[in-house]
Amino acid sequence: MRSSFRIVFLSVFVLLSAVGCKKTTKTEVKTVDTYVADNYTKKEVDIEMRDGVKLHTTIYAPKDTSKEYPIIMQRTPYSSRPYGEGNFKTKIGPNEHLMREGNIIVYQDVRGRWLSEGHYENMRAYIPNKTSNDQVDESSDTYDTIEWLVNNVENNNGNVGIWGISYPGYYATYATVDAHPALKAASPQACIGDFFFDDFHHNGAYLLSYFRATSLFGTPRPNGDAPIDTAWYTLPKLPTEDQYQFFLDAGPLKNLDYFFEYETADTPTMRPEGVTDDFFWNELKEHPNYDEMWQSKGLIQHLKNVKSSVATMIVGGWFDAEDLYGPLETYKNIEKYNTDNYNTMVFGPWDHGAWARTKERNTVGNYYFGDSISLFFQKNIETKFFNHFLKGEGDKNSGLPEAYVFDTGRKEWKTYDTWPPQNVEKQTMYLSEDEELTSEAKNVTGIDFVSNVKKPVPYSEDVKTVFTPRKYMTDDQRFAARRSDVLVFETEVMEEDLTLAGDILAKLKVATTGTAADWIVKVIDVHPADTETNEEMQDHLKMSNYHLMVRSEVLRGRFRNSFSDPEPFTPNQKTDVDIKLQDVFHTIKKGHKLQIQVQSTWFPLIDLNPQTYVDNIFKADESDFKTQTHTVFTDSNIEFTVLK
């Protein structure tokens, strides 16, 4: 086998002599990994779908043709580059093990993106019971692609797997619906499930922090939607390094329209008032509620008939700021409606997609979880899954558990036959007076705080402008606990370990002087004063008394009874607001404290609520934004799922 590395820059020593002196200049040695080019052939084809549209597909096949291989594919809106049969990726497949042991690896640009023909639809709606070849969706495109691959790619063994992270994870889930018989294994990872609850929305609140990602999904391709091999979209550039101040100064969301008015040769400059050239921004603006458009794009509700011939392994990160709802709900819905299927889940101490990286020290933001956690997953879980169903027996005895989950408090892997584990119970704790979190309800009273629209609570103490935020998921919450508009409730020091293993339900009793409000609940692990600081910690912080955010969630109050039919609050009237927080697996260890924070702004992670009811916050005026006083009553409680 040829060396997998080729020296592309040699060390050069230039000896210069002047007036009896010698000077040595050394250039840096750089290498390019050529393993893929040395061991794989690459072919690019345009595969015709049932409606005549051709999708650009790249096939990497092992040069060793003495045996047959499975096909492992990824469908992506983010490009299958590099284009050109002489240009190779340096890494292919889900991980290095699956690359080096030999598999046929396939990448495809989805319909309407990059070099594929057709028109792109963001979260294309599934069409059940198709009646003609003109009715196409991502399921039919995947089916037609697999049909072509198994019949035209040499040396394939007839078994196909699919994987993807984030949006490609959504396409991996989609492949399991009306699946091709050759599809044997699917691993949706950080998979989008519904854009009203993933990425751009959380429980109806718009995630302003994802503003810069909008054009990535909503910019029309130029030249009549023709295939293109270079990026045609431009990400909005904020003229600042302080996103908090920028969005605060910008005011109402409608003042941001100008970022999405693209002046190109084939884009008319005359457009209706309030309509931009970015179709995704227009969708966000015109559909503030969970209406038929958003519901049609959701994939979760179509997982009732996942083919039993497809084994699924859902992968996610406990600290994934982008897609936590999606993988959890994907696993739970496949499990609920397809009882005979092989369906498992793997959740580790990761942010978005970190399980696919090769860093030895595994951290999320400031917080260190251990060494080689991602490497362990790739070698002992992911590779084992695909090999069993694509090269091995393919039965349910894969050697992997139902749930491979990482306890982010104890910092160790656990395995269970079910998720949540069978031996869990509900435990209720109350938001009591004097900042106490108690196991019993005490006197019922109201705790007031002023929510000032000119001084919203920041989601991070960092001064920064980011593409999409990640590190805040484990950020130290002391900066928030010290604000008067953040209510804090805390237990005494734990005398024994308390393991949270499942979902969390916050049952708030609230009131407001206004007619609209957001409600944010955070679950926090307060560390002891003698906790040692790890090397990744920001210089101004210490692990001593670190307030680790374990889970957090927002509910836009207008959606407290229905995401489709919003309603205002009645001023000063006590009202129930229930907030479902996503699952956790975290032990509050002996010597730590469990803390709950409640607040009403979280800026600019989410957009600013006017705190006076308007039909559409995307079209709110400056005059709609009012400072209000909110009240949280002490019969509010948090229902935890606790491991016995």
User: What is the pTM for the complete model shown?
Assistant: 0.93
- Cβ atoms of 313 and 330 within 8 Å: the answer is no
447: number of CA atoms within 13 Å, CB side? 24
Q: How far is CA 332 from CA 98, 164, 193, in A?
A: 28, 19, 12
The total number of residues written for the chain in this structure: 644
Q: Is the pLDDT of residue 99 over 80?
A: yes
Distance CA 561, CA 555 (A): 11
Look up residue 86 and give its amino acid: G
Q: Is 184 helix (H, G, I), strand (E, B) or coil?
A: strand
- For the chain, the average pLDDT equals 94
Q: How far is CA 148 from CA 54, 57, 184, in A?
A: 12, 11, 16
- The β-bridge partners of 46 are 56
Consecutive H or E run containing 24: strand 21-26
For residue range 409-439, list pLDDT tens digits in order. Answer: 999 999 999 999 999 999 999 999 999 999 9
pLDDT at res. 262: 83
Smallest CA-to-CA distance from 390 within 402, 382, 380 is with: 382
Look up residue 479 and give its amino acid: F
For residue range 554-575, list pLDDT tens digits in order. Answer: 999 999 999 999 999 999 999 9
For residues 577-613, b (16+ Cβ closer than 10 Å) or e, as one string? bebebbbbbbbbbeebbbbbbbbbbbbbbbbbbbbbb
Distance CA 591, CA 87 (A): 56
Give me the mean pLDDT over the 258-262 stretch: 90
Distance CA 580, CA 204 (A): 13
Residues in contact with 511: Cβ distance below 8 Å, sequence separation at least 6, in sequence order: 446, 569, 572, 573, 574, 575, 630, 631, 633
For residue range 372-409, list pLDDT tens digits in order. Answer: 999 999 999 999 999 999 999 999 999 999 999 999 99
- Cβ atoms of 548 and 541 within 8 Å: the answer is no
Percent of the chain topping pLDDT 90: 92
Residue 234, phi then psi, degrees to nearest 5: -125, 130
